[in-house]
Amino acid sequence: MPPDRPRLVATDLDGTFLRSDGSVSDRSAAVWNALPQHGIETVIVTARPPRWLHALEHLVGPRGVVLCGNGAFVYEVAARRIVESHGFERGSLLGIMDDLRAVVPGIAFAVEAADGPVVGPGWPDDGDIHRVGGADLADGTVGKLLALAPALPTDEFLVTVAQTVGVRGHLAYSGAAGLAEVNPPGVTKAAALAAWCGELGIAAGQVWAFGDMPNDLPMLRWAGHSFAVVNAHPDVLREADVTCASNDDDGVARVLEPLLTGRSHGDRPPRRARTRGDE
């Protein structure tokens, strides 16, 4: 069983805390916003870029920060300000893109940079996002490379990207078909969460974390206790300590509500012991 009370709760957004239509229920919002009043820190850890967080400002805890871009950025939502970023070395990023073009014909790229998103040739129309050609994608502090190959089966594409990138980046998959997300080496949700908790003096064993996709696995492995929503990817369901109700059934809120009433945690016990560690 997990400890009766965590010092910090971390959650992914899409597929975990948010409903499938991208909304957040009143129940989930109320529980999440009440946790700090009961002495429990909260933090959102998401693959979303900063610009996709503004409508969810009401969920950001008292410290006003979201760990986003799979850990590439620490973002103050209300201030619309990136306070910390972790980017690729320019030459390495250019090399990764060149190597992927050689093995995946027709591949398209975009990047999430500290000063905003940039997309390259062949990327689907995405409103008024700045388009450039070739090497300019590597300008600035690039926290995440997005690679798209919708003509290939997603699993095959991800294997190809992982083999091609190697140790030059960390491959993450958050559920979009044909899309690979590559962060700089060492940049994961786990690394971002560990650094944030370190600043607060909170140990891994005092953290509960919720997720649904493989990009959440580093965070779930690092946290003292991990929860997978029942709609999670099979790899996440296998590794999480506890399975809770789905994102559409307020799974995160159902786990956390007892913390607000003084009742003990009621989810089923862990299914296996795990070795803690960052990826």
Tens-place pLDDT, residues 180-193: 999 999 999 999 99
Same domain, residue pair 75 and 112:
no
29 and 146 assigned to the same domain:
no
Section 34-56 average pLDDT:
96
Q: pTM of this prediction?
A: 0.88
Average pLDDT of the residues in 73-88: 96
* 124 residue type, one letter: P
Tokens of 96: 């990764």
Last residue of a domain, one of 183, 199, 232: 183
Same domain, 41 and 71: yes
Cα 130 from Cα 208, distance rounded (Å): 38
**What domain count does the chain have?**
2
Do the strands 142-148 and 130-131 form a parallel or antiparallel pair, or are they unpaired?
unpaired
Q: How confident is the model at residue 274 (pLDDT cuts 50, 70, 90)?
A: very low
6: pLDDT strictly greater than 70: yes
Helices (H), 166-276: 189-200, 217-222, 234-239, 251-261
**What average pLDDT score do residues 148-156 get?**
89
- Assess whether 206 and 73 both reside in one domain: yes
Is 192 within a domain? yes
81 and 211 in a single domain? The answer is yes
Among the listed residues 85, 196, 189, the one whose alpha carbon sits nearest the alpha carbon of residue 142: 85
The C-alpha atoms of residue 62 and residue 71 are separated, in whole angstroms, by 19
Yes or no: say if 208 and 6 are a contact pair by the CB < 8 Å rule.
Answer: yes
Q: What is residue 176's predicted lDDT score, i.e. its pLDDT?
A: 77
Report pLDDT for 225: 97
Same domain, 154 and 119: yes
Q: Tell me, what's the pLDDT at 139?
A: 84
Q: Which domain holds residue 16?
A: 8-85+188-261
pLDDT value of residue 263: 56
Q: Domain of 130: which CATH number?
A: 3.30.1240.10
- Given a cut of 90, whether residue 130 has pLDDT beyond it is no
Is the pLDDT higher at 163 or at 177?
A: 163
Q: What CATH number did the domain enclosing 26 receive? A: 3.40.50.1000
